């Protein structure tokens, strides 16, 4: 089955700097790669996703890149703000949508003022 590895486990950046979180996956059949944000004590919520027929997707300050050949994808957050502090999870699945999503271990991002 699918296995998703996520790095780093913790990340601390200065407010205004950029943050990058990286994930690798094992199943070459995977074609849907969402990213979820979980604030302290809250439920995970989708922030951005990308499908295998797209190499990059951007939504304001966040972007995701996908390299299918290398089987890795990354989350980029620019101009970080205190409200970006949270745990971020990447995920992958060979299904068209959210079925059987396999999650990475999570990255705790801290934005220092």
Partner 1 sequence: NAGVTQTPKFQVLKTGQSMTLQCAQDMNHEYMSWYRQDPGMGLRLIHYSVGAGITDQGEVPNGYNVSRSTTEDFPLRLLSAAPSQTSVYFCASSTLRGDRISGANVLTFGAGSRLTVL
Is residue 60 a contact residue for partner 1 (CB under 8 A)?
Answer: no
Query: Cα(96)–Cα(85) distance, rounded to whole angstroms?
Result: 30
Is residue 51 a contact residue for partner 1 (CB under 8 A)?
Answer: yes
Is residue 89 a contact residue for partner 1 (CB under 8 A)?
Answer: yes
Nearest distance, CB of residue 42 and partner 1, angstroms: 8
Query: Cα(69)–Cα(62) distance, rounded to whole angstroms?
Result: 23
Place of tokens 């996956």: 25
**Do the beta carbons of residue 63 and residue 50 sit within 8 Å?**
no
**Positions that interact with partner 1 (CB under 8 A):** 1, 4, 6, 9, 32, 34, 36, 42-46, 49, 51, 89, 91, 96-106
């Amino acid at each position: 089955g699918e296995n998703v590895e996520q790095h780093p486990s913790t990340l601390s950046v200065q407010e205004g700097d950029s943050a990058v979180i990286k994930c690798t996956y094992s199943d070459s059949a995977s074609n849907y790669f969402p990213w979820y944000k979980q604030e302290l004590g809250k439920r995970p919520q989708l922030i951005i996703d990308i499908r295998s027929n797209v190499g990059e997707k951007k939504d304001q300050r966040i972007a995701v890149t996908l390299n299918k050949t290398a089987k890795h994808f990354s989350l980029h957050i620019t101009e970080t703000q205190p409200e970006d502090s949270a745990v971020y999870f990447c995920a992958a699945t060979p299904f068209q949508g959210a079925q059987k999503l396999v999650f990475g271990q999570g990255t705790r991002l801290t934005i220092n003022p």
